[in-house]
Amino acid sequence: MSSSQAAPGSPRGILFVVSAPSGAGKTTLVERLVERIPRLRMSRSYTSRAARPGEADGVDYNFVARDRFEQMIAGGDFIEWADVFGNLYGTRAPDTERLLETGCDVVLVIDVQGARQVRGRAIETTTIFVMPPSFAVLERRLRGRSQDSEEAIQRRLRVAREEVAAYPEYDFIVVNDEVDDAVERLGGIVLAERARRGRMREQAEAILRTF
Ligand code: 5GP
């Protein structure tokens, strides 16, 4: 067993939710984070949108047809799902559950609407909002993405204003000014959550018994 795998019978993992406006760089941050921290996994969402060049099914997303996605909604498959820019995105409950049961901590990288649904289900979760340093920086980053039309950029910026205004709903805020620093701060949050007394009780009691 590698050090990144949880031992059988280990306690249930922690569910983290990371949201940010489109272009704030959250996927890059979380990809780096899971490389750096053992026993931390990024959940793979389902989406009805078409794969972009360079994206692969089962890697970036599970790409499914819209009618299949709608069947999955009807079947109650999702912990949360949302319509983002006209495409459907969702987190399939059994996928997340399986990972948490192995003791791995799981990060959902989802939008503000999805985060509200997770909270609404009274699922224990730690939520993190990633902010760009300013509106101007976000605009510059979005324009740097070659494939977006001017109309798409304007729409993303409008939605971004609404999303950033939702930051008070989150437990932690990370400003993505510099990637390495932001990953470091995200990692700090994960490690602090793991160190909570409630989660450390079994180990602490075992240590106490040696005294
Ligand atoms: P993109 O199409 O650029 O990959 O993602 C667009 C938006 O959808 C991003 O804000 C992303 O966080 C969000 N998103 C991706 N997967 C999910 C998901 O499973 N649920 C929800 N609610 N949003 C998601």
Ligand 1 touching residue 23 (CB < 6 A):
no
Taking Cα atoms as reference points, which of 149, 160, 146, 126 lies closest to residue 24?
Answer: 160
**Per-residue tokens: 27:** 């996927």
pLDDT at 146 exceeding the cut of 70: no
Ligand 1 touching residue 82 (CB < 6 A):
yes
Q: Any idea what DSSP says for residue 177?
A: S
Ligand 1 touching residue 15 (CB < 6 A):
no
With cut-offs at 50, 70 and 90, classify the pLDDT of residue 6.
very low
Number of Cβ within 10 Å of residue 175's Cβ equals: 15
- Domains along the chain with CATH numbers: 15-43+103-208 (3.40.50.300)
Q: Any idea what DSSP says for residue 146?
A: T
Question: Ligand 1, atom 24: nearest CA belongs to which residue?
Answer: 110
Q: What is the DSSP string of 31-96?
A: HHHHHHSTTEEEPPPEESSPPPTT--BTTTBEE--HHHHHHHHHTT-EEEEEEETTEEEEEEHHHH
Per-residue pLDDT of 152-176, as tens digits, reads: 889 889 999 999 999 999 999 999 9
Strand order in the sheet with 87-92: 62-63, 46-47, 87-92, 78-84
The number of angstroms, rounded, from the C-alpha of 84 to the middle of its chain's C-alpha atoms is: 15
Per-residue pLDDT of 20-59, as tens digits, reads: 998 888 999 999 999 999 999 999 999 999 998 899 999 9
Taking Cα atoms as reference points, which of 51, 13, 55 lies closest to residue 34?
Answer: 13
- The model's pTM: 0.92
pLDDT at 203 exceeding the cut of 50: yes
Question: Ligand 1, atom 2: nearest CA belongs to which residue?
Answer: 49
Ligand 1 touching residue 109 (CB < 6 A):
yes
